């Protein structure tokens, strides 16, 4: 009897042994951009959608739903892209759906993209959760494992096969099933006792504390480049006195004989320095460095690196232009400091989620702008992308506003010993490849976090994290690497390899609930133990308490706004002693309330936000605001207007 979803929900992804020796991806993943040689066509809006509710979730493949219009296969509904599909309908089964869902959209491709024979057309999905297969006009063009990171396919060859039709039908099947070797991991549990559960009953178990939102979470788009094109650019920056150094490397596809011009342009549009080589070092006289928000009068200064390529083959000539924003800055770590541009940087920031009402994890500009305004209001200079990579548009905002980022992989909830097996490690290494490839050029990204709170006590954890951290350092020798821990076992496992120790703790919450009086002593012990053993800088990467907005009590009790405030105050008094010594940052858990799986410890989600899910402040937000502005005054150099934040 069929018990529930099987193939291809639980994908058997064979490990590629080469991964353990360090993968180098063979193409770039530059953010799609319009230029004199490139066009972008966003495919956002309403897509036809159908969840495969067959018991095996396999009907769509058996009946080849990708071969015809989705509406011809059965009933379809409208689903917006980008958005999670979970919260936009009234259907509880779709909210909690596990398995394959199918998206489809028809698009008319400009005829000249096909007819001129010189244009490359790329279909790009910025993120779909979790496993995706993509067809164009019924032909499979790519598949990708993992949410949160982009993937693409060249489709011009396919479109040219039938140049009479410029309509193209894009079908994307997305499966949110998590198994022991996905990232994050999970497992499907079948309940077979028919006296207790209905036929076919199964659940998706996970070990992380946020709702497993699914669907196409970020933009889908078509973009063009010439057939000979700039495939990737890597930039590493440094400076010596007042001279900036921009080490760059351009990789080109589609042509062997090319001429190249690389020009660094300042904010006012002036050409600063140029070169004709595909790689080299550009020297920038009187450099304007990239500084974090609240550390300098003029944070987030960006140059632009314009790469102009000219190439020819027997029949055609090609020109491609791509402009990469470049912030010139350095990041270094000493035994007790985190240095940006050789000055001590103190993280006073937040942990976030991509999460909001209705959209779930769907990208939404109004939400992004609101969150940046709230972070700036708060005086936050940094955040961590807990617990997965965020949209690249968010990192671009960080670059421009000077918000510093700890960029985290989706390595969250690694708690089952089987999730340390080679298949998992291989995939985790690939995800780091994809993450570093996408985010390496963002000046705001100052550290990689390979995972959050893995089960460090398990024997394979040491090898697993050693491999991950070493690999990440090979991918990017210029940034520190960490993983986030809540466990003392991690001391002997990952800690010897990380550059910065990031610790999560919830004293008087998960331990000694209700006992505020333990916080200071326990936090002090935590810091002394870690620093005593490793002499590495420490970031308190999570701390906090749930507060149901509007719940009050004095004397304070758990879940009231007063209790949340007092937890913060007690943590802060220890931070103030240790930040003069070796603590280099504090990141509140969490910026805003967020949705979780249903459970007895979660009342309509996690309430540790200092803002509600609708982005209104709880009392704790004002405590933090006062503190962060005070810290900024002490440690940074505030631009004039920011000295009076209340009027802004």
Residue numbers at the binding site for ligand BDP (CB under 6 A): 209, 387, 452-453, 486, 504, 542, 589, 606, 608
Least distance CB 576 / ligand BDP (angstroms): 23
User: Apex CA 392: angle with CA 390 and CA 395, to 5°?
Assistant: 85
Q: Among 381, 378, 325, 317, which residue's Cα sits nearest to residue 349?
A: 381
Closer to ligand BDP by Cβ: residue 50 or 352: 352
Q: How many CB atoms are closer than 10 A to CB 521? A: 12
3-state helix, strand, coil in the chain (%, to 5): 25, 30, 45
Is 42 designated active site?
no
DSSP per-residue codes, 467-523: HHHHHHHHH-TTS-EEEEE--GGGGTTTTTT-SSEEEE--BTTTBSTT-GGGHHHHH
Pick 327 or 411: Cβ nearer ligand BDP:
411
Residue closer to ligand BDP by CB (options 235, 624) is: 624
Q: How far is the CB of 586 from ligand BDP (least distance, A)?
A: 15
CA–CA dist 30, 8 (Å, integer): 31
Minimum gap (Å) between residue 452 Cβ and ligand BDP = 5
Cβ 129 vs Cβ 147: under 8 Å: yes
Smallest gap from Cβ 547 to ligand BDP, in A, equals 12
In the bound complex, what is the minimum distance in angstroms from residue 283's beta carbon to ligand BDP?
43
**Is the Cβ of residue 181 or residue 607 nearer to ligand BDP in the bound state?**
607
Which residue lies nearer to ligand BDP by CB, 104 or 453?
453
Residue 485: phi and psi, rounded to 5, are -130, 150
Indicate the residue among 1 and 600 with the shorter CB distance to ligand BDP.
Answer: 600
By the 10 Å C-beta count (0-12 exposed, 13-18 middle, 19+ buried), 619 is classed as middle
Closest to 558 (Cα-Cα) out of 599, 608, 491: 608
Q: Which of 453, 542, 561, 586 is catalytic?
A: 453
Q: How far is the CB of 567 from ligand BDP (least distance, A)?
A: 12
* Sign of the alpha-carbon torsion through 503, 508, 510, 511: positive
Angle between helix axes 619-635 and 561-578 (nearest 10 degrees) is 20
Backbone angles phi, psi at 396, to 5 degrees: -65, -40
**DSSP sequence for 307-358:** EEEEEE-SS-EEEEEEEEEE----EEE-SS-EEETTEE--EEEEE--S-BTT
Smallest gap from residue 486 Cβ to ligand BDP (A): 5
What gap in Å lies between CA 80 and CA 88, rounded to an integer? Answer: 9
Q: Is 60 helix (H, G, I), strand (E, B) or coil?
A: helix
Q: Give the H or E element holding residue 569.
A: helix 561-578
Looking at the Cβ atoms of 219 and 356, the one nearer to ligand BDP is 356
Rg (CA), the chain: 25
Distance CA 489, CA 491 (A): 5
For ligand BDP, the closer CB: 119 or 452: 452
Please report how close the Cβ of residue 422 comes to ligand BDP at its closest, in angstroms.
25
Residues marked active site are found at: 453
């Amino acid at each position: 009897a069929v018990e529930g979803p099987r193939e291809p929900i639980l994908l058997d992804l064979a490990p590629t042994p080469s991964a353990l020796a360090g993968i180098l991806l063979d193409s770039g993943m530059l953010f799609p951009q319009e230029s004199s040689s490139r066009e972008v066509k966003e495919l956002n809006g309403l897509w036809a959608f159908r969840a495969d509710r067959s018991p095996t979730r396999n009907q769509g493949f058996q009946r080849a739903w990708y071969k015809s219009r989705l509406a011809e296969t059965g009933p379809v509904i409208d689903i917006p892209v980008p958005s999670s599909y979970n919260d936009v309908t009234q259907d509880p089964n779709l909210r909690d759906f596990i398995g394959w869902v199918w998206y489809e959209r028809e698009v008319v491709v400009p005829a000249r993209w096909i007819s001129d024979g010189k244009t490359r057309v790329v279909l790009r999905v910025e993120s779909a959760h979790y496993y995706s297969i993509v067809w164009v006009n019924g032909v499979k063009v790519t598949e990708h494992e993992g949410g949160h990171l982009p993937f693409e396919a060249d489709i011009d060859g396919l479109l040219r096969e039938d140049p009479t039709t410029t309509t193209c039908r894009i079908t994307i099947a997305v499966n949110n099933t998590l198994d022991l070797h996905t990232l994050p991991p999970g497992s499907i549990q079948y309940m077979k006792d028919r006296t207790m559960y209905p036929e076919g009953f199964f659940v998706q178990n996970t070990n992380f504390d946020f709702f497993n939102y699914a669907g196409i979470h970020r933009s889908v788009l078509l973009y063009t480049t010439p057939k000979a094109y700039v495939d990737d650019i890597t930039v590493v920056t440094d400076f010596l006195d007042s001279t900036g150094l921009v080490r760059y490397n351009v990789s080109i596809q589609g042509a062997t004989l090319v001429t190249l011009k690389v020009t660094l342009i300042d904010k006012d549009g002036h050409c600063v320095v140029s070169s004709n080589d595909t790689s080299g070092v550009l020297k920038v006289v009187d450099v304007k460095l990239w500084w974090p928000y609240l550390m300098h009068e003029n944070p987030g200064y960006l140059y632009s690196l314009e790469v102009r390529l000219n190439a020819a083959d027997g029949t055609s000539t090609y020109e491609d232009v791509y402009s990469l924003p470049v912030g010139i800055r350095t990041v270094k770590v000493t035994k007790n400091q985190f240095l940006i541009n050789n000055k001590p940087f103190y993280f006073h920031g937040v942990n976030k989620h991509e999460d909001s009402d209705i959209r779930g994890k769907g990208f939404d500009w109004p939400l992004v702008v609101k969150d940046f305004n709230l972070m700036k209001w708060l005086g936050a200079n940094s955040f961590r992308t807990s617990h997965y990579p965020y949209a690249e548009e968010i990192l671009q905002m960080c670059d421009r506003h000077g918000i510093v980022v700890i960029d985290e992989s989706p390595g969250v909830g690694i708690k089952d010993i089987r999730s340390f097996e080679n298949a998992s490690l291989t995939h985790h290494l690939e995800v780091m490849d994809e993450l570093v490839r996408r985010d390496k050029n963002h000046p705001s990204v100052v550290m990689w976090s390979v995972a959050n709170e893995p089960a460090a006590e398990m024997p394979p954890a040491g090898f697993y994290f050693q491999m991950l951290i070493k690999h990440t350092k090979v991918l990017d020798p210029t940034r520190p690497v960490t993983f986030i821990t809540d466990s003392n076992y991690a001391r002997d496992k990952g800690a010897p390899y990380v550059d910065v120790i990031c610790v999560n703790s919830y004293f008087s919450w998960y331990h000694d609930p209700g006992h505020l009086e333990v916080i200071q002593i326990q936090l002090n012990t935590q810091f002394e133990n870690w620093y005593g053993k490793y002499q590495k800088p420490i970031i308190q990467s999570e701390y906090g308490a749930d507060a149901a907005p509007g719940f009050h009590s004095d004397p304070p009790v758990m879940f009231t706004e007063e209790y949340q405030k007092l937890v913060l105050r007690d943590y802060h008094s220890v931070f103030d002693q240790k930040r003069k010594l070796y603590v280099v940052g504090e990141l509140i858990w969490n910026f805003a309330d967020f949705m979780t799986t249903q459970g007895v410890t979660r009342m309509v989600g996690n309430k540790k936000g200092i803002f509600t899910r609708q982005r209104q402040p709880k009392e704790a937000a004002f405590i933090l605001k006062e503190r962060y502005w005070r810290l900024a005054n002490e440690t940074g150099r505030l631009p004039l207007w920011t000295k009076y934040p209340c009027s802004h």
